[in-house]
Structure 1
Amino acid sequence: MTRQFVHDQRAVRVVFRRGALDAIGDEVERLGAQRVLLIGSPRHADRVSALLGERVAATVSAPRMHVPAEQARFVQAQGDALDVDACVAVGGGSATGLAKVVALHRRIPILAAPTTLSGSEMTRVWGMTTAGVKQTGRDEAAAPRIVLYDPDLLATLPVATAVPSAVNALAHAVEALWAPDRTPLTDLYAREGAAAIGRALRGAGKTELTELVTEALYGAWLSGMCLDSTTMSLHHKLCHVLGGSFGLPHAETHTVVLPHVIAFNAGHAAPALHTLREALDMRDPARGLHSLVTTLGGPGSLAELGLRSTDLDRATDLALASPYANPRPLTADVIRTVLEGALRGDEPTIA
């Protein structure tokens, strides 16, 4: 068999251990930053502000989901006025996402300490929502240079938040397995990342919490590496449309949509399906994941999240508005079929 591929991977410093946040002063010093823009929830921001002291030039304590342009522009202007030389994001994907558009604007480094399993902290991918349309892109300036993975930051994450967050991370690994630019290394990341997240989900309520959080965070890191190095497909396109244009919550939307996309693509992505069966220990990963999530109290339908049947035509049109790779050919009819099943909460099954 002839192998050929191009593997593109950026340099990033990753610190993975309990208590990693306590060393954030040393890590900011490593960046050479003196005027930091701190982005995160008040609970985490207060702690980090105490650790960084006078290096914090300003704090943004309410980053909004999907990075709305009006907030992004306001915070970019604030960063300009204060001449900040680094962003520190302590929070979920909303905090990291806002830090990315500020860093992209000012060309300054980011240090990220995630408090969910979004995986955004490992990527060059940025996103911003303008007039109900979410735009995404890739730029080295949007990629955090230092990431602190501290399981203690996720120890109090409610199950209702943790389950969708874990499936959101899993989606990065799944789509990397059928990406047109996958490589042997991304396959390894995806397989191990999916297996770790699967173990964490199956162990919910049965295994010690710190162990589960650590396993899930480990899986999210590897899956984030996949997201950074490969092209995402139908699943991510649908979730960007549903979040950016209809205001659906990010992780919960990924959680509902992913089993349906797995079932849809399975017949055209046999190697990916084989890997998922082994990694997740599920004969039918689409049905198994849907069942596991709903058993754990996670969302099972887009209707639960606020999508209406009258939204489907526009969602389908937006999903087809720009070309993107997918292992199974896409038409308006098939995209609408996937959305209809996810809207109702049908049990997806691989044929």
Structure 2
Amino acid sequence: MLKFEHTTLGQRVLFGTGQAAKHVAAEISRLGVTRPMVIAGAPERALAEVATAEIVPALWWDEVIQHVPAEVAEKARAAAAIESVDVIVCVGGGSTTGLAKAVALTTGLPVIAVPTTYAGSEATNVWGLTEDRTKTTGTDPRVLPTTVVYDADLSKTLPVGLSVASGLNGMAHCVDSLWAPNADPINQALALEGARALGLALRGIVANPDDMDAREQALYGCYLAAVSFASAGSGLHHKICHVLGGTFDLPHAQTHATVLPYVLAFNAPAVPELAGRLAIALGGEASTHDPADAAVAALRELYSAVQAPARLADYGFTEAGIPEAVQRVVKAAPASNPTAVTEQNITALLTEALTGATPMVATTPAR
């Protein structure tokens, strides 16, 4: 029997290439606000000026650090209070959106998110803060951006390598959403369509970085990925990456991209029907004999085609960090994960991800 409970988050999405400034100004007018705080790191300043060309910011904030250190969030909140800010406009990737969410978490200010990458944070009610080498996440309706403005022009200068890593971060949202704690048929459907769109988009961007159709598809795919993730919740993949990012300061997108094939190989045998559907979404062949192998092979083929990140060692993680990471992951792992989590199998997973070994489909019994 089909039985589930699904919550759809309320959010306005404005999608149009070359329309960011027009859409941001229209939202400022619609919301009746007059003192916007624009959050954009120094590298995104030029893009932010394009996106906010038709409004007058009351405050520019450019201190943006990945994983949102708690002290940076406090400084931004204080600045917003001093300037009597009544809305936040964030222009950038996941770290920028994350800081805007951190300000909204305690102030209740509405957020207009203008993504320049494929992170997907803009479509979730998930916040994250890092303090004392520990990244804490939670959900709160106050942090869900009121409006998302998607404009592929703002992503056309994103380097191919970072486009790939960011898009695969979105792909991780899709895969995790298939069996995360609150997974249901609706977010699974969104996740599979998101995976299909992202796979095609990344191939297109690698083949031609100026392919705006591909960049639009990447934004479309990352939005579906994020919507499914917001409903399904954080699965094992995200728990692992939160540990690697918050505790070891590994780069967000590259870490997600690197870890994903290993978590898929770990969980896929326990959910063969979903693995088979994912294989098809990624352009692979359906296999009634071994759908887990088919899914892992399809993802591996995509990774080869787009020259995806492959080793955690390339981003500063070392063998010495594995024991602490394992302890933290085992403690945070969802009880509902399809494959039972142990210190032994998480050690093996992180060791493979560290060295870039070919992901092997797990033989660990399902629950």
**What TM-score results when the alignment is normalised by the length of structure 2?**
0.91
Residue number in structure 2 paired with 1:70 = 71
Residue type at the aligned position of 1:230: A
**Which deviates further from its counterpart, 68-77 or 38-47?**
38-47
The alpha carbon displacement at 1:197 in A equals 0.6
Secondary structure, aligned partner of 1:5: coil
Q: CA deviation at 1:333?
A: 0.9
What secondary structure, in the 3-state scheme, does the structure 2 residue paired with 1:64 have? coil
Q: CA deviation at 1:266?
A: 1.0
Partner-residue secondary structure (3-state), 1:38: strand
Q: Hey, what's the Cα distance between the residues in 1 that align with 2:21 and 2:51? A: 9
User: Which amino acid is the alignment partner of residue 14 of structure 1?
Assistant: V
Q: Which whole-Å CA distance do the structure 2 matches of 1:47 and 1:4 have between them?
A: 47
Question: Which residue identity lines up with residue 316 of structure 2 in the other structure?
Answer: G
Mapped to 2, the partners of 1:63 and 1:35 lie a distance apart of: 20
1:1-351 alignment to 2 at 5 Å? 2-23=1-22, 24-40=24-40, 41-53=44-56, 56-206=57-207, 209-283=211-285, 284-324=294-334, 325-350=336-361
SS of the residue 1:303 aligns to: helix
Which sits farther off after the overlay, 309-318 or 22-31?
A: 22-31
Q: Is the Cα–Cα contact under 8 Å of residues 119 and 169 in structure 1 kept in the other structure? A: yes
SS in 2 for 1:263: helix
Alpha carbons 1:38, 1:87 under 8 Å: kept: yes
| Contact 1:294 1:300 survives alignment (8 Å) | no
Distance (Å, rounded) in 2 between the aligned partners of 1:205 and 1:238:
28
2:291 aligned residue: none
Report if aligned partners of 1:163, 1:293 keep a CA contact under 8 Å in 2: no
SS of aligned partner of 2:308: coil
Between the aligned partners of 1:84 and 1:113, the Cα distance in structure 2 is 18
Contact 2:204–2:211 under 8 Å retained in 1: no
- 8 Å CA contact 2:167, 2:198 repeated in 1: yes
CA displacement 1:143-181 (0-9 Å, x = unmatched): 001001111111111111000001000111111111242
Task: String of CA shifts for 1:307-334, please: whole Å, max 9, x gaps.
Answer: 0000000101111223523111111111
Secondary structure at 2:54's aligned position in 1? Answer: helix
Deviation at 1:45, TM superposition (A): 2.6
CA RMSD, aligned part only?
1.5
Q: Distance in 2 between matches of 1:191 and 1:321?
A: 29
Cα deviation for residue 57 of structure 1 reads 1.5
Q: Any unmatched runs of 5+ in structure 1?
A: none
2: distance between equivalents of 1:13 and 1:48?
17
Q: CA deviation at 1:50?
A: 3.3
Q: For residue 365 of structure 2, what is the aligned residue in structure 1?
A: none
Question: How far apart are the structure 1 equivalents of 2:181 and 2:2?
Answer: 14
Paired AA for residue 289 in structure 1:
L
- Could you tell me how far apart the structure 2 residues matched to 1:164 and 1:154 are? 13
Superimposed CA distance per residue, residues 238-287 of structure 1 (whole angstroms, 9 cap, x where no aligned partner): 00000111010000000100000000001111122011111001353334
Q: Report the secondary structure of 1:50's partner residue.
A: coil
Q: Output the CA distance in 2 between the equivalents of 1:27 and 1:350.
A: 47
TM-score by length of 1: 0.95
Q: Which amino acid aligns with 1:219?
A: G
> 1:168-198: per-residue Cα shift (whole Å, max 9, x none)?
0011111111124222221221111110011
What SS does the aligned partner of 1:52 have?
A: coil
Structure 1 range deviating more: 98-107 or 286-295: 286-295
Distance 1:99 1:250 in 2: 17
- SS of 1:329's equivalent? coil
Contact 1:179–1:326, Cα closer than 8 Å, also in 2: yes
- Where does structure 2 lack aligned partners over 5 or more consecutive residues? 286-293, 363-367
Distance in 2 of aligned mates of 1:142 and 1:288: 35
